[in-house]
Structure 1
């Protein structure tokens, strides 16, 4: 069957059930709640709803809960893993996994707190020797919370 989808056409997203078929992460480290949309071989838009029930808020910080920047980066990496999976047209249940291989140019611009919805926008940049590079932004109410370049590697388990 030939794929006739225009590579600039946005495809519908998918819910947590589909995400859990693709990513190995589980509570408390499953950080993507839903994929809103994606453009094949190009970009993906996912969300994370931050609630006071996040286990990390017990210690970061009592009386002043702030979602850790490193978890924003991890969620961004999970979004790139979802895009990479779709780009490679991997099969659900295959023995492939996308590993977080590195981060460059990370900048944190705003705090993320309980009640925020974080929108992750990730775009494919290039692939070189099995390392995939993506650029990502995390937004809250349209305001940039974090930007970074994320590297992932596809491996067989």
Structure 2
């Protein structure tokens, strides 16, 4: 489900009633937990937290003129809330930490893809673990990792 909302507020307002509270809580958690320097915007129909062009003028290699470097996205999908974290995709040690730590914070089985963590039960999202995950990579570290792995 890709949203056509132009702003984060519009995105949240257009959600089904049962998603408004957990998505707003998730958004606030992201805004509070990400290190300084990331900016919120709407990209790919999701709430996305990026390294702004003012900090990293090269932008995202897939669309460098129009897309700042993404780091985290949040989306309300049909059957779950999805958190996309490029840090766990790019840094195996961060992925290993997250997978090992997850059972200490949730009774639910971890459901994830390469960068996507899916939450099907809104009342069982391990917000404290997600806050720690989000705080683990600074803007500078993300740029360095991105350039090392993805820039040609």
TM-score by length of 2: 0.30
- Structure with the bigger percentage of helix: 2
TM-score by length of 1: 0.30
- Structure with the bigger percentage of strand: 1
